[in-house]
Amino acid sequence: MRRTINSYAQALLDIFYPRICLYCRRNINYSCDCYICSKCKKDISFINESHCIRCGAILGPYSLSSDKEGCVFCRSQHFYHDSLTAIAHYNGAIKELIHKYKYEKQRFLYKGINDLILANKKLEKIIQEIDIVVPVPLYWRKKLQRGFNQSELIAREIHRIFLKPLSVKNLIRIKNTVSQTKLSKSKRYANVRKAFFIKDPALVEGKRVLLVDDVLTTGLTMQECAKKLKETGVKSVHLFVLAIADYRS
């Protein structure tokens, strides 16, 4: 009964305040508890199996990649992480969703983001190999200005759904870095170098860490976090991001 009343109330609300897709602006049916319409959802470029597990690069039908050596793009590079899992490419509706969530401070959108992550089965596959979930931290002032850490909200949901321990106060950002996308290639590393600190190494020592961020752009921020974690004695670092931008350019 209550459900029926709620449905009518929602239908009425939809007449006066129609819910619209935040990407194409079409109306969304009230029965859909979402922020992107079904058409835009279908157009999201999810990353399928043919990508490198080490660097996330898209692989052609004849390209080879292995967990340890990687692919043609990353074979010669040294990484501090052990694997990388990304849900989608950073474009279209995903880009809009993350942009609104992060830069326009529309915190409620974390629900739409978490739904996209959980609808994908990739996380289920790797979560068994994880001991602790750690979000990429924001500098304290940035977190205060934004009101939340977007990566932390994703990490909290992973912790809630998969019952894995969460650590949000151990890995901290001690340098107020600027966005990597605003810098030239040569200045990006200096920007994140020595930007992170681990308060209590004993809490992560010997653990298999899932390091969570919303978008992987240059990859250097997560690399610096992974480096710090490995130096502290972490057993393995698995990167998890909602979206991956083409950071090789």
Residues near Zn ion, by CB under 5 A: 21, 23-24, 37, 40, 52, 54-55, 57, 70-71, 73-74
Cβ atoms < 10 Å from Cβ of 116 = 22
Query: Cβ closer to Zn ion: 223 or 232?
Result: 223
Q: How far apart are CA 29 and CA 34, in angstroms?
A: 9
If the CB atoms of residues 74 and 109 are measured against Zn ion, the closer one turns out to be 74
**Secondary structure (3-state) at 219:** coil
Q: How far is the CB of 54 from Zn ion (least distance, A)?
A: 5
Residue among 57 and 226 whose Cβ is closer to Zn ion: 57
Give me the least distance between CB of 25 and Zn ion, in Å please: 7
- Least separation in angstroms between residue 21's CB and Zn ion is 3
Q: What is the dihedral angle through the alpha carbons of 95, 96, 99, 102, rounded to the nearest 10 degrees?
A: -100
Smallest distance, Zn ion to C-beta of residue 217, A: 16
**Residue closer to Zn ion, measured from CB, 74 or 210:** 74
Cα angle: 23, vertex 84, 130; to 5 degrees: 110
Question: Residue 73 to residues 51, 54, 70: CA-CA distances in angstroms?
Answer: 11, 10, 8
Tokens of 172: 């901290």
